[in-house]
Amino acid sequence: MATNFFAEIQIPSDYQQAKKVEDDILHAAMHFDYPDQDIFAIRLCLEEALTNAIRHGNGMDDNKKVDIRYYVDSKRVEIDIIDQGNGFKLEDVPDPREMDNIDQPNGRGILLMKSYLNVIEYNKKGNGIHMVKYKDKAVE
Amino acid sequence: MIHGPNIEIVRQNDVNVVNLLNEEILDEAIIAEITDSLFAFVVENPAANILLNFSKVKHLSSSALGMLIRLNKHISETKGNLKLCSIAPSLLEIFVITRLNNVFEIYEQQTEALTSF
């Protein structure tokens, strides 16, 4: 029985290929019996982070790649996603909950990831995200 | 009744109940298809009462929330009404986190939502 799952993958800016990696990570977490609410959180955050990388980071450019590294064991799911875009500054993203922004259709992905992950960090350039979800541990 | 791959629209008195048929509304392509179908319906049926039923939906993303916001604006512009119902507790949490529970009228049950129009 595997004690952990680890992989480093590079995919093109393609949602279908991203979905395959997403499924592999979710299956790994299910292998370690992560509770349903953790699986829900991991699926949501992977979807948000990969969509951001492909759409906003790489601008759907087929020539640009997304690097994904993940580690899953019985205690945590750790994921790094790096796109080949110019990056962004977290402080430039407006709070979608504010009245001025509440009816804007975009800008809620980061808020959701912050709400469901135990750790979320961006690299200096702003084109890479580091995410950690601990098994059965509430987000503080 | 209108039946497509992602949505089914059933007329109940003066309300158009839109049943979302996908368990996951995450994929950009599916979101685009649902958006196109709903926008086309609103163009053909201006000032319509529309109730989105989420009973089959288990996962949705921020892109799906964006679709709902655009749809809400579009329906409001045609003097119609959009309401939501039967949202699973885990998904309702997403609406609460983003405070979109204050933007949309959300009902626990379809019967309750139908009488609210």
CATH number of A81's domain = 3.30.565.10
pLDDT tens for chain A, residues 1 to 140: 789 999 999 999 999 999 999 999 999 999 999 999 999 999 999 999 999 999 999 999 989 999 999 999 999 999 999 999 999 998 889 999 998 999 888 889 999 999 999 999 999 999 999 999 999 998 88
Number of domains in chain A: 1
Whole-number mean pLDDT of chain A?
A: 95
Amino acid at B100: L
Interface test with B, best of A47, A56, A110, A139 (most B CBs within 10 A): A47
| Residue spans per domain, chain B | 2-114
Q: Mean per-residue pLDDT for B43-70?
A: 95
Task: Mark yes or no for CB contact B99/A111 under 8 Å.
Answer: no
pLDDT at residue A105 in the model: 85
Q: For residue A3, is it within any domain?
A: no
**DSSP code string of B62-106:** HHHHHHHHHHHHHHHHTT-EEEEE---HHHHHHHHHTTGGGTSEE
Residue A4 covered by a domain: no
**Mean of all residue pLDDT scores within chain B:** 94
| Alpha-carbon A82 to chain mean position | 10
Task: Mark yes or no for CB contact A108/B70 under 8 Å.
Answer: no
Q: What is the pLDDT of residue B26?
A: 87
Is there a domain that residue A48 lies in?
Answer: yes
Q: Poorest-confidence range of A2-6, A105-109, B1-5, B12-16? A: B1-5
Q: For B2-114, CATH number?
A: 3.30.750.24
Please tell me which of the candidates A15, A43, A102 has its beta carbon nearest to residue B99.
Answer: A102
Range of the domain at A85: 12-117
Residues contacting A108, CB < 8 A, separation 6+: A96, B62, B65, B66, B98
B70 contacts in chain A (CB < 8 Å): 105
Segment B8-33 shows an average pLDDT of 92
